[in-house]
Amino acid sequence: MWLNPEEVLLKNALKLWVTERSNDFFLLQRRRGHGEPTGKITGLLVGALDTVLDSNARVTPFRILLQVPGSQVSWVIASGAAIEEVNKHWDWLIRNLLHSLSVFENKDDVASFVKGKVKGLIAEEVRGRQAAQEEDPEKFREALLKFELHFGLPSSEKLVTYFSCCCWKGRVPRQGFLYLSINHMAFYSFLLGKEVKFVIPWAEVMRLERVSTGLMTEAIRVSTRQRQREFSMFLNLDEAFGVIGQLADIALRRLLDSEGLELDRVLQQPTRISKRILEEQALREYVLALFRLPRGERLHEVASCSVWTPHARCHTAGTLYTTDSYLCFSSREEGRCILLIPLSEVLSIEKAESTSVLPNPVIVSIRTKKAFQLIELQDRDELVESLNCKLRSLQWKQSMFRSSKSGKRSMRSPTPYYTFYYDTGYSDEVEIEEQVLRNTVNSEALMTAFNQNQPGTNSNKSMEQVKERLWEDHFSEFGRGVHMFRTGKIQRLVSMGIPESLRGELWMTLSDASTELESHQGYYTSLVKKSMGQSTLATEEIERDLHRSLPDHPAFQNPTGIAALRRVLTAYAHRNPKIGYCQSMNILASVLLLYAKEEEAFWLLVAVCERMLPDYFNRRVIGAQVDQSVFEKLISERLPELAEHFPDLSTLSSVSLSWFLTLFLSVLPFHSAVCVVDSFFLHGIKAIFQLGLAVLEANAAQLSTSTDEGQALMILTSFLEQVGNEASSCPVSPVHAAEETSSSNPDVPAVRHTNITDLINESYEKFGDLTVRQIERLRCRHRIQVLQAHEDTTKENALRVVTPDVSISPEDLANVYDLFKTEHLISLYWGDTSSAAAAEAAAWRHGDSYMERQYRLDRPQFKSLYGLLAPWPGGSNQHTDTLANRTFTLLDQDCDNLVTFREFAGWLDTFYCEELNEKIRLLYRLHIPPALTESEDDPSLMKSPLVSTNRPLYVNLPSGVPGDEVKDYQEQLKQMLRDLVKEKEKDVEKPLPLMIQREFIQFCKTLYSMFHGDPEENDLFQAIATVTSLVLQIGEAGHRGRRTGSEGTSRDEAEGAEATQANAKDRRSSVSGVCDGSATPENEWTISYAQILASLLTEQALVNFFEKPVDLSAKIAAAKEKQYHQRAGLLTLQHRTR
């Protein structure tokens, strides 16, 4: 195979290679010992050396070298395991290159030419391998070549797929091809001599829609912040729309929310994404959502089959899905019959004899002495073998885990497994809690000890007994445990409300939290030990909310309930620090503790936060916002009359946010809300969507007459407060008791009492056709809108902070921000893995109580943007690059090798909007330390300088202060200094350090470079020559004066006296903080900023040049045109030179 050319210093080092064929430019060599008689000692030694090397380091036995006459360096350009393979490469070189090389006069040109050809062949092979994965490799290879030719993007911009379609421009369709890559969608058309092409980054896509108008068939509308594009005439519009939505969703999650959303490991490597991978990922997301599996589960096999369903006394046709730890079956009609079998419950998977009645049967036996029969399985042998392999691996892990646990238990004393100590203050209540709870663990649900005594207890008990009998009958027919059949009958039972005696068990079963608990024995115990007693932001928030969780329920008026809630929430915050603790988790956890044991409640909370409501409980609650956007879409589709009355559906979705975050627990009476939680554990988020639509429909008439958001909120609140449960004669929860007294508002009409069972059944009857697949597709599309809304908020916040400090117009400042952000994204698109990871990490700003997006640029990114927006064109690229380096060092006030948008905008504002003296002042600062260093070729010498020229601040701390407090005090002082440094230095009276002669020469060089290409170039050159001569004379005069005895006052850092003129060496050590080891003469030639400014003002040509306004808008427009392709070209060049 062809290899990326790699240098070889000695063509025949250690006699390890034998030359088989050669000419003036190429050598074909064989590894010594390969293909030789076994008797030769050198062959035996080399063979032994190759054998002991690991498999990754072993050398292929044949290779081809590029050699240049007269050079001691060669390059390996091809290798192979067989002589036939290498001979093919050799013949290609002889036939296509050898005769061409003789015309080159320069040997370096020969090497460059051959290496370029070889890299081209490697790129072609990569295209071939990528094309081979597609359905039609030849067509895909052709499309890939056209994509690279038309758009000029780097080779790392992988093409995923392409479609033939029309792009509409007004009423005119343009037939062409839509190319979809990992970071962009691109369209190209060439029709009747007219070329149309454009590129849309996924990061700019705001909305994806399917639209239909009278002019065209159904089309896909792609909306960005600037414009809309519509595409139609697809051969398969559903497929195209799905792929476009997936790629946009994946790209935005990867580029804009890497901290909050966890992508599949395959999708975290964009170069591995292909059309097939996207199809597999879409199916995996659907399976995880349908069966509510752990997010880490991988989908392996998908097979059509039929399962014997005893309750129906027939085989039910559907699909079998196998993952790492589960067997999942779903009927063809989603929700009609669902079966979930954890592999941890399976004893054996065996093939049975195939008959005409039972073709290809498989028997799955589980621990409870039951078996499931699957038939009509295609590729049965391979499937059974794969499942048995997973089963053996899982059983081995379980046996090892049990043996290790039993060994540990035998060494332990029988004392309680933990003791709790709380550090929440010294109140009597806390002391009582410690006495009661020390060495105790809640082994029962809180409801067993704190059951509320309500009127009508006898009727409640009889109703509970009826429900229990119904459930016992159901268990006998459909099975009990995680692997029971879930059909429409269980839905009817759940809508009635699960009996309290079975609620905890069924929640564990329906959510599959029981499997997690079984496979993680002792995990919760160890987590509590680690987490209790720690003080973090999460624990502080938990302590604040403990007494707000169902405050009127007796279980949480007692130290026992409060302590259990504290343990569960603190343990989860320790388990998942990305989520930590989020408001509304306390309400959910308190309800779970009422009906489940403490450890079970913990695993139920894990199931809800990580599987059933993904991305809901984090700082930005992205998941909840996505589902609110989906809910708005469902309202517009399912309740069009209501949607017509509310042009802005965000009014209704904002009211419903608490419905989703707390599963109606915060808005419904307690006993009714618990029935909603029952339905949620059976059907997941689908139950909340359906119930929300049912509530809105029940109040549609009154909502249509409402005039504002407040009245709509009162209508819905009054309705939900009256939703009762037939098992409870006291429908209104104590949570709403206070509110009920004020519900006699004459503006809100009286609301009839509604039974929660009827409401849930109605939601299934009217909106039960909503499927998990539909919800997942809607989530994919609406996540794009939510993430972009967060980006808009980030931009607004950044502009609001910067606008008061600059004179740039708001429109221009917004455009500069877009350029700044695009520069960051380009590094994520095409930078290497390490630089992309660093850029993404730099885009997040963490605080004690927040995490927000804040784009920052590193040195290469800044230099690229500097070249696009610098107000004056430089005379040479090298000097422009030097100035960009100095500017970056000056702006990097935090010394973290990153520049913020605020710092960048301040630099831009100075050169485009400030007065002449401020422009000269900034140029002056660019030519003294820390911006200017002794060796500008090494950027590492520029790191960690202090921008401020103030002396260090010393504070005498009182004696007896602990060391930690001293450190904290010092940190506060450092932060104060940083804040002072960040303030814009507009005080002209503040003295700048003096400039020495070497620095002044650099200053003049910069001015000459700035004037190059200006229409008044000759006059400017003459003026700067005059100024230079004048300044040199001033400096020389001052130098002679100091040498005769005049000496400036040095800085006294200990006393903190104000800095004045100092000798150059002291100035460098105090300003830059970098010791270069070179001694500077004490009587160095120096000049001040004021003297340079005064000299420049004597020449009108220079004054006119600096006062001449520069059109920033035009500069920004030009930068937008150049940025993409200029940056892409630079990155491509960097990749090629590696």
879 neighbors 282 (Cβ within 8 angstroms): no
User: What pLDDT is recorded for position 312?
Assistant: 87
**Omega within 30 of 0 (cis) for the link into 930:** yes
Q: Tell me the CA end-to-end span of the chain in Å, nearest whole number.
A: 20
The region, left, alpha or beta by phi > 0 then psi within -120 to 50, assigned to residue 892 is beta
Q: Half-sphere exposure (CA, 13 Å, Cβ side) for 671?
A: 22
* C-alpha pair distances (Å), 689 with each of 635, 722, 785: 10, 20, 19
Maximum separation of any 2 CA atoms in the chain, in Å: 116
Pairing of strands 2-8, 1086-1087: unpaired
pLDDT digits (tens, 9 = 90+) for 976-994: 666 665 554 444 456 788 9
Mean predicted confidence (pLDDT) in 529-558: 86
pLDDT confidence tier of residue 14, bands split at 50, 70 and 90: very low
In 561-695, which ranges are E strands?
A: none
Choice among 276-285, 332-341, 686-695, 964-973 with the minimum mean pLDDT: 964-973
Q: What is the DSSP letter of 814?
A: H
- Side-by-side strand order, sheet with 159-169: 194-201, 184-191, 172-181, 159-169, 228-232, 219-224, 205-211
**Alpha-carbon distance 521 to 508, whole Å?**
15
Q: What is the pLDDT of residue 740?
A: 42
In this predicted model, what pLDDT tens digit does every residue of 210-236 receive, in sequence order? Answer: 988 666 578 999 999 989 999 988 888
**1033: which 2 tokens?**
């004379």
Question: What is the rounded distance in angstroms from the CA atom of residue 748 to the CA atom of residue 322?
Answer: 53
CA–CA dist 318, 463 (Å, integer): 37
Confidence label for 946 from pLDDT (cuts 50, 70 and 90)? very low
Q: Does residue 614 have a pLDDT over 80?
A: yes
Structure tokens at 701: 């008439």
What number is the average pLDDT over the span 965-975? Answer: 57
Tokens (6 digits) for 29: 């060599």
Higher-confidence position of 290 and 848: 290
The pLDDT of 41-53, averaged and rounded, is: 47
Indicate the burial class of 990 (C-beta count within 10 angstroms; 0-12, 13-18, 19 or more): exposed
Q: What is the pLDDT of residues 351-397, one digit of tens each?
A: 988 888 889 999 999 988 899 999 999 889 999 999 999 898 888 87
- Tell me the per-residue pLDDT of 465-504, one tens digit each, with 9 for 90 and over: 999 999 999 999 999 999 999 998 999 999 989 999 999 9
Taking residues 772-799, report their average pLDDT: 93
Burial annotation 324-348 (CB, 10 A radius, 16+ → b, else e): ebbbbbbbeebbebbbbbbbbbbee
| Residues 35-46, mean pLDDT to the nearest whole number | 53
Bridge-based pairing state of the strands 851-853 and 844-846 = antiparallel
Q: Is the dihedral of CA 698, 700, 703, 709 positive or negative?
A: positive
Least confident of 500-504, 552-556, 749-753: 749-753
What tens digit of pLDDT does each residue of 1073-1085 get? 433 333 345 567 8
Tell me the angle at which helices 1017-1043 and 1100-1107 cross, rounded to the nearest 10 degrees. Answer: 110
pLDDT confidence tier of residue 1104, bands split at 50, 70 and 90: very high
User: Which of 384, 377, 372 minimizes the C-alpha distance to 360?
Assistant: 377
Site of tokens 């005895």: 1045
Is the distance from CB of 713 to CB of 655 less than 8 angstroms?
Answer: yes
How far, in Å, CA of 840 to CA of 822, rounded?
13
Q: What is the DSSP string of 74-101?
A: EEEEEEESSHHHHHHHHHHHHHHTHHHH
C-alpha pair distances (Å), 895 with each of 820, 888, 921, 940, 948: 20, 10, 22, 12, 12
Q: What pTM value is reported for the model? A: 0.77
Averaged pLDDT, 327-341: 93
- For 964, the enclosing helix (H) or strand (E) is helix 963-982
pLDDT, mean of residues 65-76: 84
Between 427 and 341, the more confident residue is 341
Of 51, 650, 729, 182, nearest in space to 455 by CA: 729
Residue 74: pLDDT above 70?
Answer: yes
pLDDT at 1128 over 90: no
Which range has highest mean pLDDT (111-120, 848-857, 1044-1053, 1094-1103)? Answer: 1094-1103
pLDDT for res 426: 37
Residue 323 β-bridge partners: 299
**What is the model's pLDDT at position 817?**
95
Give me the helices (H) in 379-486, please.
380-411, 428-437, 446-449, 457-478
Q: Has residue 27 got a pLDDT over 60?
A: yes
Distances (CA, A) of 12 to 32, 72, 74, 608, 697: 11, 11, 10, 65, 84
Q: Is the pLDDT of residue 925 over 60?
A: yes
- Would the pLDDT of 420 be above 70? no
Q: Report the range of poorest mean pLDDT among 464-473, 880-889, 944-953, 1121-1130.
A: 944-953
The more confidently predicted of residues 1076 and 1032 is 1032
Rg, the chain, Cα only: 37
Asked whether the predicted pLDDT for residue 799 surpasses 70, the reply is yes
Q: What is the band of 262 on the pLDDT scale with cuts at 50, 70, 90?
A: low
- Mean pLDDT of the residues in the chain: 79
Residue with the bigger pLDDT between 438 and 117: it is 117
- What's the confidence (pLDDT) of residue 850? 43
Paired tokens of 471 = 């459930």
Determine the 3-state secondary structure of 859 from DSSP: helix
Residues 6+ apart with CB under 8 A from 1015: none
Residue 72: is its pLDDT beyond 50? Answer: yes
For the ranges 148-157, 691-700, 827-836, the lowest mean pLDDT is seen at 827-836
Instruction: Give the whole-angstrom CA distance, residue 826 versus residue 831.
Output: 7
